Structure 1
Amino acid sequence: MFELRRLRLLHELSLRGTIADVAAALSFSPSTVSQQLAQLEREAGVALLEPDGRRVRLTTQGRLLAAHAARALELDEAARAELSSSRHAPARVRIAVMPTAAEALVPAALSLLEERMPGLRLEMVELAPETALFELQARGFDLVVAEQYPGHTREVSPGIDRTLLGRDPVRLALPPGDPATGLAELRDRAWVLEPQGAAVRRWAVQQCRAAGFEPDVRFEATDLVSHARLVAAGHAVAMLPDLVWTGGRDTVRLRELPGSPVREIFAATRSSSQDNAAVTAVREALADALSAHDPR
């Protein structure tokens, strides 16, 4: 009989690629991970790993068992959720959210959950969507709040379900005294955008190119509140979603972008948690918080 904890190590290795990364993610030493995987090989009776330079990689049999390990972990999760629900035990839900959701949605969702599911323990980490969605697959979180912009659909991963929480308009944000009325007039302005590699950065640059210019990106920041403050202080222009304006937006001038684009805010969960009442309650509370959000 295979030991589930060892199967998880193999599953993690199939996702992360190196024993060192598996050890770091699960707070083990690399030698412990190696020893447990060696024991799993003995239990399987076949080679699961083979040398790849100074690292190791999964053999054909290793990839086969890793796929079975993923299904075993899904069944374990579903069974635990059902047993917890049947005995009305206190639930814990771990979520990873993007910065704007951490500020604008999570506090309101927590207030709703206090009424709807007293005793629920919600744990939150703020992470970029790319990292958070990967960690969801690796079972580091139960739910992820992420976004996608028009024409930039995020990769669809097997075993991961998405639920649309709502849509968030994206507008031009200008300093209070900036006379521009549209995107085409901003070719000579300093811009603040997210760092290179972010999907929203690629989307924003494409909007500028469609308007006939290359943006002069002088400032980069992952936190959109930093973008808003640079704009309010008169040092940059930006494209910002309405969700960033928690607490008011009267410090900047907002103008519509061509086509009035919106980003989709979605919750991602593992398919194995679809019957988990606590995860469902958190997702519904986040959707209601977004629906009630007033940026004014």
Structure 2
Amino acid sequence: MREHMYNLRRLEVLCELKHRGTLAAVAAAMSYSPSAVSQQLTLLESEVGASLLERDGRRVRLTPQAEILVAHTKTVLQQLDRARTEIAASLHERTGTLRVAAFQTAMLTLVPAVLTWLRAAHPGIRIEATQAEPDTALPALLARDLDLVVDETFPGHPHLTGEAELSHHVLREDLMRLAVRDTAVRSLPELARHPWVMEPLGTPARQWAESLCHAAGFEPDVAFESADMLVHARLATQGHAVAFLPDLLWADNAPDVPLLQPERVHRRTIWVTLRAASADHPLVRTVLSGLRHAAEQAEEAISRHLGNNNQ
């Protein structure tokens, strides 16, 4: 029996297909043409001696043999992550690039603070940051397009993606306060007949907010939908809608809309998520320290800005 050495790049193509689902998405992610991706997978099938793909309508799905190969490839890639970590730890200088994604309010407040901190303490570290919600950022982290993600979860909606491969670190508990122009309102049930602004359907934030309204005995009148918290704040400030607004939004400025004192369940958890095999990489640990520093600064600023606002 002739043994074949599997090509690591082709194995990575197969893993990308597992994460991204289509040849076109893999081609875009890896800067290949779709035909080149198909060719790489055909060559890998030849090396393996088994079919790796099956047609599923207009898409393709992995065969059981391909799933076995993907599982072992993930182990190899994790070992390479550990090797990079050990090499970086053996060097004295902290230099290099870290690719970061963060959801909107973290991108507005925490990321700039980290950049300022790094510029003073570790000027050799470059951050490439993009704004992305967890449902796209976490798969990109698993696919190695990113090195670190600042993400959020809501009660009843825990992390579900790649738990065995990812490491989650709590950054802060962020209260979600009700913003309502009508100062006579004192509790959530009183808002049954008010128009609301919420995040789009299907998002954890929307599901969480609607579940709270249902528990209070009413179906919210969602007149406005937006993924932009600044839009939520503007509509609430001008009295057009009621909104749940996160405390992190007030790290830089005091709110100009009354905020109801939240109940214990009115919160989200902000996390830093990274691949477990890279958790000890010096750049990752440094940026994680920077994010914790930024979160502490934000906490102090939020306390100042909300001091006289709560009803």
TM-score by length of 2: 0.90
Distance in 2, matches of 1:129 and 1:282, equals: 19
The one-letter code matched in structure 2 to 1:46 is A
Q: Structure 2 matches for 1:136-215, cutoff 5 A?
A: 136-157=141-162, 158-175=164-181, 177-215=182-220
Say if 1:182 and 1:54 are closer, same or farther in 2 by CA, change over 3 A. closer
Distance in 2, matches of 1:253 and 1:89, equals: 45
Match for 1:34 among 20, 31, 38? 38
Residue matched to 2:309: none
Distance in 2, matches of 1:260 and 1:249, equals: 23
The alpha-carbon deviation at position 77 of structure 1 amounts to: 2.2
Residue matched to 1:13: 17
Determine whether 1:63 maps to 2:62. no
The alpha-carbon deviation at position 156 of structure 1 amounts to: 4.8
Match for 1:83 among 84, 87, 90? 87
Gaps of 5+ in 1: none
SS of equivalent to 1:180: coil
Q: Structure 2 matches for 1:184-263, cutoff 5 A?
A: 184-259=189-264, 261-263=266-268
User: Are the aligned partners of 2:15 and 2:70 in contact in 1 as well (CA < 8 Å)?
Assistant: yes
Residue matched to 2:54: 50
The alpha-carbon deviation at position 260 of structure 1 amounts to: 5.3
Gaps of 5+ in 2: 306-311
The alpha-carbon deviation at position 43 of structure 1 amounts to: 1.8
Q: Choose 29-38 or 244-253, whichever is displaced more.
A: 244-253
SS of equivalent to 1:151: coil
Percent identity at matched positions?
44
Distance in 2, matches of 1:246 and 1:253, equals: 16
Distance in 2, matches of 1:95 and 1:50, equals: 34
The one-letter code matched in structure 2 to 1:127 is A
User: Are the aligned partners of 2:95 and 2:124 in contact in 1 as well (CA < 8 Å)?
Assistant: yes
TM-score by length of 1: 0.94
Q: CA RMSD in A?
A: 1.6
Residue matched to 1:107: 112
SS of equivalent to 1:13: helix
SS of equivalent to 1:181: coil
Distance in 1, matches of 2:55 and 2:108, equals: 46
Distance in 2, matches of 1:57 and 1:262, equals: 39
The alpha-carbon deviation at position 243 of structure 1 amounts to: 0.4
| Alignment length (residue pairs) | 295
The alpha-carbon deviation at position 223 of structure 1 amounts to: 1.1
SS of equivalent to 1:105: helix
The alpha-carbon deviation at position 126 of structure 1 amounts to: 0.2
